[in-house]
Structure 1
Amino acid sequence: MSSQPPALRAAILIVSTTAAKDPSTDAAEATLRSVFEQDGGNQWTVAETHIVSDDSAEIQRQITTWTEPVEEGKHIINLVVTTGGTGFAIADRTPEAVSPLLHKQAPGLVHGMLAASLAITPFAMMSRPVAGVRNKTVIITLPGSPKGAKENLQAVIKTLPHACIQAAGANSRALHSGGVKKLEKEAGVGSQGHAQAQAHTHGHSHSHQHDHGHSCHRHTHSHGHGHGHNHGNLVRLSSENPKSNDPSLGPSRRHRSSPYPMLSVDDALSLIAKHTPCPTTTTAKVTPDLVGKVLAQDIYASAPVPAFRASIVDGYAVVVPYSGHLRGVYPVVSTSHAAPSSNLVPLKEGQIARITTGAPLPPGANSVVMVEDTVLISTTKTTHPTTGQEIEEESSVEILSDGIVKPGANIREIGSDIPFNTLLLPSKNRLSPASIGLLSSIGTQSVKIYSPPTISVLSTGDEIVDPSLPRELSLGEVRDCNRPTLISVISQAGFTPLDLGIVSDKQSNLETTLRQALRSSDIVLTTGGVSMGELDLLKPTIERSLGGTIHFGRVNMKPGKPTTFATVPVKNNDGTKSQKMIFSLPGNPASALVTFYLFVLPALHQLAGISPVGLPKVPVVLGHDFPVDKSRPEYHRAMVTVSKEGKLIATSTGGQRSSKVGSLEGANALLTMPAGDGPIKKGETIEALMMGELRSELA
Structure 2
Amino acid sequence: MSATKELTVGLLIVSDTAAADHATDRAIDTLTAVIAEANAQIDNNAYEWLIEERRIIPDDKSKIQEKVKDWCDNKALSLVVTTGGTGFAKRDVTPEAVSELLDKTASGLVHGMLAASLKITPFAIMSRPVAGVRGDTVVITLPGSPKGAKENFESIIKLLPHACIQAAGGDSRVLHSGGMKKLEKEAGVAPSGGAHDHHSHLYESGGLASDDAVGMTSGCGHHHGGGGHHAPTPRTQQGGELRSNDLTGDVARRHRSSPYPMISVKEAHKLVVENIPAPEVVKRKVDAGLIGHILAEEVRAKESVPAFRASIVDGYAVVHTDGAGVYPVVGVSHAAPGEIKPLEAGQIARITTGAPLPLGASAVVMVEDTRIAKTTDDGTEELEIEILASGLTELENVREVGSDMKTGDLLLRKGAEVTAVGGEIGLLASVGIVEVEVYKKPVVGVLSTGDEIVQHDRAEDLSFGEVRDSNRPTLLAAITARGFEAVDLGIAKDQPGTLEDVLKDALSKVDLIITTGGVSMGEKDLLKPTIERTFNGTIHFGRVAMKPGKPTTFATIPIKDDVSRPIFSLPGNPASATVTFHLFVLPALRQLSGFIGDGIHLAKALVIVEEDLVLDPRPEYHRAAVRIDRSGSLVARSTGGQRSSRIGSMEAANALLCLPGLSEVGDKRTRIPRGDKVEALIIGELKVLDV
User: Structure 2-normalised TM-score?
Assistant: 0.72
2:462 aligns with: 473
- Fraction of identical pairs, as percent: 45
For 1:582, which of 559, 563, 567 is the aligned residue?
Answer: 567
For 2:679, which of 663, 687, 692 is the aligned residue?
Answer: 687
Following the alignment from structure 2 to structure 1, what is the Cα–Cα distance between the partners of residues 339 and 9? 61
Q: Which runs of structure 2 are paired with 1:10-409 in the superposition (5 Å)?
A: 41=10, 73-75=20-22, 77-79=24-26, 161-164=81-84, 166=86, 169-172=91-94, 173-179=96-102, 180-182=132-134, 185=137, 187=139, 191=160, 193=162, 222-228=218-224, 233-235=231-233, 237=235, 241=241, 243-321=243-321, 325-326=323-324, 328-341=325-338, 343-348=340-345, 350-380=346-376, 393-401=381-389, 404-409=391-396
User: Which sits farther off after the overlay, 593-602 or 161-170?
Assistant: 161-170
Which residue identity does 1:372 align to in structure 2? E
Following the alignment from structure 1 to structure 2, what is the Cα–Cα distance between the partners of residues 569 and 205? 33
Superposed displacement of residue 114, structure 1: 12
Following the alignment from structure 1 to structure 2, what is the Cα–Cα distance between the partners of residues 640 and 115? 36
Which residue identity does 2:357 align to in structure 1? L
Q: Is the 8 A contact 1:309 1:361 kept in 2?
A: yes
1:632 aligns with: 618
Following the alignment from structure 1 to structure 2, what is the Cα–Cα distance between the partners of residues 425 and 578? 30
Following the alignment from structure 1 to structure 2, what is the Cα–Cα distance between the partners of residues 118 and 666? 41
Residue 653 (str. 1) matches residue 650 (str. 2): no
Residue 441 (str. 1) matches residue 430 (str. 2): yes
Q: Deviations over 1:124-169 (max 9, x none)?
A: xxxxxxxxxxxx9xxxxxxxxxxxxxxxxxxxxx989522354795
Q: Which has the higher contact order (CA 8 A, sep 6+)?
A: 2
Residue 458 (str. 1) matches residue 450 (str. 2): no
Q: Deviations over 1:331-361 (max 9, x none)?
A: 112222223345541332x321111111111
Residue 430 (str. 1) matches residue 382 (str. 2): no
Q: Is the 8 A contact 1:569 1:578 kept in 2?
A: yes
Superposed displacement of residue 479, structure 1: 0.6
Superposed displacement of residue 236, structure 1: 6.2
Following the alignment from structure 1 to structure 2, what is the Cα–Cα distance between the partners of residues 270 and 112? 16
Following the alignment from structure 1 to structure 2, what is the Cα–Cα distance between the partners of residues 640 and 112? 34
Residue 616 (str. 1) matches residue 613 (str. 2): no
Superposed displacement of residue 614, structure 1: 2.3
Which residue identity does 1:494 align to in structure 2? G
For 1:414, which of 387, 401, 418 is the aligned residue?
Answer: 401
Q: 1:306 to 1:116 in 2, by over 3 A?
A: closer
Q: 1:449 to 1:665 in 2, by over 3 A?
A: same
Q: Deviations over 1:367-394 (max 9, x none)?
A: 211223322222358xxxxxxxx99642
The DSSP-based 3-state class of the residue aligned with 1:539 is helix
Which residue identity does 2:684 align to in structure 1? G
Following the alignment from structure 1 to structure 2, what is the Cα–Cα distance between the partners of residues 307 and 374? 28
Q: 1:352 to 1:625 in 2, by over 3 A?
A: same
Q: 1:684 to 1:43 in 2, by over 3 A?
A: farther
Following the alignment from structure 2 to structure 1, what is the Cα–Cα distance between the partners of residues 615 and 17? 54
Superposed displacement of residue 621, structure 1: 0.9
Q: Is the 8 A contact 2:11 2:80 kept in 1?
A: no
Q: Is the 8 A contact 2:13 2:83 kept in 1?
A: no
The DSSP-based 3-state class of the residue aligned with 2:84 is helix
Following the alignment from structure 1 to structure 2, what is the Cα–Cα distance between the partners of residues 277 and 558? 28
Q: Deviations over 1:481-521 (max 9, x none)?
A: 10000000001111111101111111000001011111211
Residue 668 (str. 1) matches residue 654 (str. 2): yes
Superposed displacement of residue 319, structure 1: 1.8
Q: 1:113 to 1:539 in 2, by over 3 A?
A: closer
Following the alignment from structure 2 to structure 1, what is the Cα–Cα distance between the partners of residues 317 and 532? 78
Runs of at least 5 residues in structure 2 that lack an aligned partner in the other structure: 1-6, 44-58, 60-77, 103-131, 141-156, 167-174, 176-181, 190-214
Which residue identity does 1:415 align to in structure 2? G
Which residue identity does 1:163 align to in structure 2? T
Which residue identity does 1:411 align to in structure 2? V
Following the alignment from structure 2 to structure 1, what is the Cα–Cα distance between the partners of residues 582 and 654? 12
Superposed displacement of residue 455, structure 1: 1.0
Superposed displacement of residue 409, structure 1: 2.7
2:578 aligns with: 593
Following the alignment from structure 2 to structure 1, what is the Cα–Cα distance between the partners of residues 366 and 185? 71
Superposed displacement of residue 610, structure 1: 1.7
User: Structure 1-normalised TM-score?
Assistant: 0.71
The DSSP-based 3-state class of the residue aligned with 2:621 is strand
Following the alignment from structure 2 to structure 1, what is the Cα–Cα distance between the partners of residues 593 and 185? 29
Following the alignment from structure 1 to structure 2, what is the Cα–Cα distance between the partners of residues 471 and 531? 29
The DSSP-based 3-state class of the residue aligned with 2:589 is helix
Superposed displacement of residue 220, structure 1: 5.3
Which residue identity does 2:459 align to in structure 1? P
Following the alignment from structure 1 to structure 2, what is the Cα–Cα distance between the partners of residues 204 and 285? 53
Task: Report the RMSD for the aligned CA atoms in angstroms.
Answer: 3.9
The DSSP-based 3-state class of the residue aligned with 1:439 is helix
Following the alignment from structure 1 to structure 2, what is the Cα–Cα distance between the partners of residues 298 and 454? 25
Residue 544 (str. 1) matches residue 533 (str. 2): yes
Following the alignment from structure 1 to structure 2, what is the Cα–Cα distance between the partners of residues 274 and 295? 22
1:3 aligns with: none
Following the alignment from structure 1 to structure 2, what is the Cα–Cα distance between the partners of residues 39 and 448? 42
Q: Deviations over 1:58-86 (max 9, x none)?
A: xxxxxxxxx9x979944463436999xxx
Superposed displacement of residue 294, structure 1: 0.7
Following the alignment from structure 2 to structure 1, what is the Cα–Cα distance between the partners of residues 187 and 82? 30
Q: 1:577 to 1:491 in 2, by over 3 A?
A: same
User: Which sits farther off after the overlay, 330-339 or 238-247?
Assistant: 238-247
1:32 aligns with: none
Superposed displacement of residue 450, structure 1: 0.4
User: When the two structures are aligned, how many residues end up with a matched partner?
Assistant: 552
The DSSP-based 3-state class of the residue aligned with 2:329 is strand
Which residue identity does 1:565 align to in structure 2? F
Runs of at least 5 residues in structure 1 that lack an aligned partner in the other structure: 1-37, 46-66, 84-105, 121-135, 137-157, 207-218, 382-389
Q: Is the 8 A contact 1:347 1:362 kept in 2?
A: no
The DSSP-based 3-state class of the residue aligned with 1:436 is helix
Q: Is the 8 A contact 1:237 1:261 kept in 2?
A: no
Q: Which runs of structure 2 are paired with 1:562-581 in the superposition (5 Å)?
A: 562-571=551-560, 578-581=563-566
Following the alignment from structure 1 to structure 2, what is the Cα–Cα distance between the partners of residues 320 and 641? 57
Superposed displacement of residue 313, structure 1: 1.6
Following the alignment from structure 1 to structure 2, what is the Cα–Cα distance between the partners of residues 330 and 605? 63
Q: 1:444 to 1:392 in 2, by over 3 A?
A: same
Q: Is the 8 A contact 1:467 1:481 kept in 2?
A: yes
For 1:604, which of 586, 589, 594 is the aligned residue?
Answer: 589
Following the alignment from structure 2 to structure 1, what is the Cα–Cα distance between the partners of residues 512 and 595? 16
